[in-house]
Amino acid sequence: MNDTSRPAAAPAAIRVFIALAPPDDAKDELARALAPAYAAHPGMRWNRIEDWHITLAFLGELPVTVVPRLRAPLAELAAERGPLELSLRGGGQFDSRVLWSGIAGDVPGLHRLADDVRGLVKEAGIAYEGRPLRPHLTLARARRGDLAGVPEAAGVLDGFEGRAWPTARLHLVGSDDARGPAPVRYRDIESWPFTGTGPGAGTRTGTGA
């Protein structure tokens, strides 16, 4: 008889990214604007609102033993910086497959922050060859064989102008160990407040994308 009382083995690898997260009221504002798209396209693979993030660096699957290397440098970076002022604006699509909302506000500062985050990843000895940053918030993906829903849903966000908000924290995010058809769920591994006295668009020396 199998012993089912043993706890499941901890995963050896975890999917990791570093991100910013809009505050709840800004996400609720966007969700209200999306209501017609939710109703018209319930079959799309809608991301949970809890998982809405602005990704600065997607690291893919890492050994769990490597992830702690990122904690101290990311904490230091957040402590050096003040918040960025951002907002959610409009919507668009990638290849009729991915629905997103755009990012407005201090976009140059956002790029500099992403460059510094990516530099810290490399300094921590983690290989990183990510794509250039295209600031956005991923909202949904098309189901296989249905490429009409994403462009139509993007049209719902034409003219959407969300309120401005300050970035509160820098998030180190990891996936659960779900495999198969179940959607991947994300959780904060750790996050750090932006508490620096300098501007959010400040720069560091010796780092880069």
- Amino acid at the residue 131: R
Residue 112: beta bridge partners? none
Q: Is residue 41 annotated as part of the catalytic site, yes or no? A: no
End-to-end CA distance of the chain: 54
- Amino acid at the residue 87: S
Query: CA separation (Å) from 71 to 59, 172, 176, 194?
Result: 14, 8, 19, 14
- Any idea how long the chain is? 209
Which residue out of 41, 111, 136, 171 is catalytically annotated? Answer: 136
Which residue out of 41, 53, 111, 171 is catalytically annotated? Answer: 53
Q: Give the C-alpha separation, 63 to 32, whole Å.
A: 38
Torsion on CA atoms 124, 129, 131, 136, rounded to nearest 10:
-20
Q: Is residue 53 annotated as part of the catalytic site, yes or no? A: yes
- Which residues are known catalytic residues? 53, 136
